[in-house]
Structure 1
């Protein structure tokens, strides 16, 4: 088994293009936890989806229309939201922005 990565720097990790104006970069992870950065151009969409992981998201920049289980709110810079496991959720970037998401357990599908 490889040694656990304990530190990550700003430019670590590969960028994956998910859709026009939407990218993902895994920052750091352990089997129980994963931190991921998502960047969005204004108007970009994080399509509605669900997964078995608990997710908590921090809006590092911008403003997002966030829908979780049919409920919608606008969350801006410095705000957060949580997505319980299995609920359908998605976002629309109301302005260029960046989300920092934490998942438990780790999203193996992102590696």
Structure 2
């Protein structure tokens, strides 16, 4: 049996700068599931993109203009959204904020 990681501490992973005002850190993952934290400065953009993974996102802080498959809605702190596999999506931070994203399967491109 392979070693399994059941726990992750907040300071266990480093932040990666993706673009000005936009950072990411992988919190924990298995081959089937991954949890990632994204930090955004006000006005920062998570550019429109798509991927084969299913994604669910929780707004831990701030508010975001979220676009999924051409539909845009503002999602504030405590809100969530789901992005089905293959749909084009992106966000704009309306204020400083953080998203907690979960992907299935894991995003190998983030490791």
Is the shorter-chain TM-score for this pair beyond 0.5, marking a shared fold?
A: yes
Distance 1:24 1:87 in 2: 21
TM-score w.r.t. length of structure 1 = 0.98
Q: Which runs of 5+ in 1 are unaligned?
A: none
Distance 2:101 2:4 in 1: 20
Deviates more, 1:5-14 or 1:28-37: 5-14
Distance 1:110 1:12 in 2: 15
Partner of 2:66: 66
Aligned residue runs from structure 1 range 16-95, under 5 A:
16-95=16-95
Q: Which runs of 5+ in 2 are unaligned?
A: none
Partner of 2:8: 8
Give the superposition deviation at 1:7.
Answer: 0.3
TM-score w.r.t. length of structure 2 = 0.98
RMSD, aligned α-carbons: 1.0
Distance 2:4 2:14 in 1: 18
Q: Which runs of 4+ in 1 moved over 3 A?
A: none
Give the superposition deviation at 1:44.
Answer: 0.2
Task: Determine helix, strand or coil for the equivalent of 2:95.
Answer: coil
